[in-house]
């Protein structure tokens, strides 16, 4: 029997390679995941969560109002057209917040400045393409309202 060479089974080597590859994959994924920058929606996210009931009340008032601001992105002019009804135009004051969920550094705010037709244009000529989220927080008389909507810049 010494003359015959014993055949070694390839299974131990195969199992070692599979487990080793899996461990290397997990380590590579861990390094990748920890090197990614993660932006919260806002820097004071937790403080805003505590005040979220105010937003719920504003959204309920907006729903009861029966109308929300119209939102239309005009690709040709690279402008966002925000339209309020005539009833809301004269007394409305507030803030428009536009933010990119993927990059908090691109977020910006503008005061609500409606023209006589209840329209406000926001230029996107120098803004990045992609998904944006519009938040309109406004006051009409004594009542506070809030509307949020997502749109895509092409």
Q: Do residue 65 and residue 100 come from a single domain?
A: yes
The parent domain of residue 32 ranges over: 9-38
- Give a yes or no: residue 72 inside a domain: yes
Q: What pLDDT, on the 0 to 100 scale, is given for residue 39? A: 67
Lowest mean pLDDT among 8-17, 74-83, 84-93, 94-103: 84-93
- Which band of pLDDT confidence, cut at 50, 70 and 90, is reported for residue 109? very high
Read off the pLDDT band of 86 (50, 70, 90). Answer: confident
Does any domain span residue 2? Answer: no
Tens of pLDDT, residues 23-70: 999 999 999 998 887 666 667 777 877 788 888 999 999 899 888 889
Supply the CATH number for residue 59's domain. 2.60.40.3080
Residue 15: the pLDDT is: 95
The total number of structural domains in the chain stands at 2
| CA 74 to chain CA mean position, Å | 20
The Cβ of residue 90 has, within 10 Å, a number of other Cβ atoms equal to 11
Are 87 and 120 found together in one domain? Answer: yes
Following DSSP, what letter does each residue of 104-140 receive, concatenated? EEEEEEEE----TTSEEEEE-TTSPSEEEEEEEEEEE
Q: What was the pLDDT predicted at 51?
A: 83
Q: Has residue 3 got a pLDDT over 70?
A: no
């Amino acid at each position: 029997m010494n003359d015959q060479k014993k055949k070694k089974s390839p299974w131990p080597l195969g199992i070692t390679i599979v487990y080793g590859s899996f461990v290397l994959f997990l380590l590579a994924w861990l390094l990748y995941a920890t090197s990614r920058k993660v932006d919260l929606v806002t820097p004071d996210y937790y403080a805003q969560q505590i005040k979220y009931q105010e937003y719920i009340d504003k959204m309920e008032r907006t729903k009861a109002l029966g109308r929300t601001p119209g939102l239309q992105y005009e690709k040709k002019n690279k402008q966002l057209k925000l339209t309020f009804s005539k009833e809301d135009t004269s007394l409305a004051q507030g803030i428009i917040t536009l933010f990119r969920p993927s990059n908090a550094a691109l977020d910006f705010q503008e005061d609500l400045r409606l023209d006589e037709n209840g329209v406000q244009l926001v230029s996107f000529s120098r803004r990045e393409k992609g998904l944006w989220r519009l938040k309109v927080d406004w006051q009409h008389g004594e009542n506070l309202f809030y509307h949020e909507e997502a749109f895509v810049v092409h």
